[in-house]
Amino acid sequence: MDRRRDLRGANLADADLIGVNLSAARLSRAKFPRANLHLTNLSEANLAGADLRRARLLETNLAATDLHDANLSKANLAEANLAEANLAEATLARANLTRANVHRVFAHRSDTDLTGAILDKAILDKAILDGANLTGTKRDPAQSPVWPNGLTLPTTHGTPQADG
C-alpha cells in the first residue's frame, strides 16, 4: 500500500476532492462531513467507520468499498456506484440514492439504517438488505413501481413506502 493513500483517521471535513483517485485507500475512521467527493474514485477503499455525513458523493465510484459502520446520513449519493459495497451497520438515514447502483450491495443482518433514504431509480437488483432498517424509505412509484427480483428485503425492521 502506497503511504500517500493511508489517511486513516484524517480530518477532511468540508474538503473539495472532486475527481480525486483514492481507490484502495485506507480511510477508516476518516472524517469527511460536508466534503465534496463528486466523481471521486473510492473503489475498493476502506472507509469503515468513516464520517461522511452530508458529503456530496454524486457519481462517485464506491464499488467494492468497505463502508462498514460508516455514517452517510444525509449524504448525496445520486448516481454513485455502490456495487458490491459493504454497508453492514452503516447509517444512510435520509441519504439520496437516486439512480445509484446498489447492485449486490451487502447489508445482511447488520442494523444498516436506511431510514427515510431516497431510492428513486436506484439499481437494487441482488442487493442483500435483510436486517436493514428501511422505515420510510422512498421510491417514486411512477419511476420505479416495484422492488426488483433478487432483492432481499428486511424481515425484522421497517417497511419501504412509495411516494404519492
Q: What is the pLDDT of residues 90-130, one digit of tens each?
A: 999 999 999 898 888 877 655 788 888 888 888 777 777 77
- Contact between 138 and 163 under an 8 Å Cβ cutoff? The reply is yes
- What does the H/E/C string look like for the chain? CCHHHECCCCECCCCECCCCECCCCECCCCECCCCECCCCECCCCECCCCECCCCECCCCECCCCECCCCECCCCECCCCECCCCECCCCECCCCECCCCECCCCECCCCCCECCCCECCCCECCCCECCCCECCCCEECCCCCCCCCCCCECCCCCCCCEECC
Residue 29: which domain range? 1-164
pLDDT of the residue at 3: 52
Number of domains composing the chain: 1
Mean pLDDT of 21-28: 97
What CATH number is attached to the domain comprising 80?
2.160.20.80
pLDDT at 1 over 90: no
Q: What is the pLDDT of residues 30-75, one digit of tens each?
A: 999 999 999 999 999 999 999 999 999 999 999 999 999 999 999 9
pLDDT at 163 over 50: no
pLDDT of the residue at 122: 82
pLDDT of the residue at 145: 36
pLDDT of the residue at 124: 76
Provide, rounded to the nearest whole percent, the portion of the chain with pLDDT above 70.
Answer: 80
Hey, which residues does 123 pair with through a beta bridge? 101
**Entry pTM:** 0.82
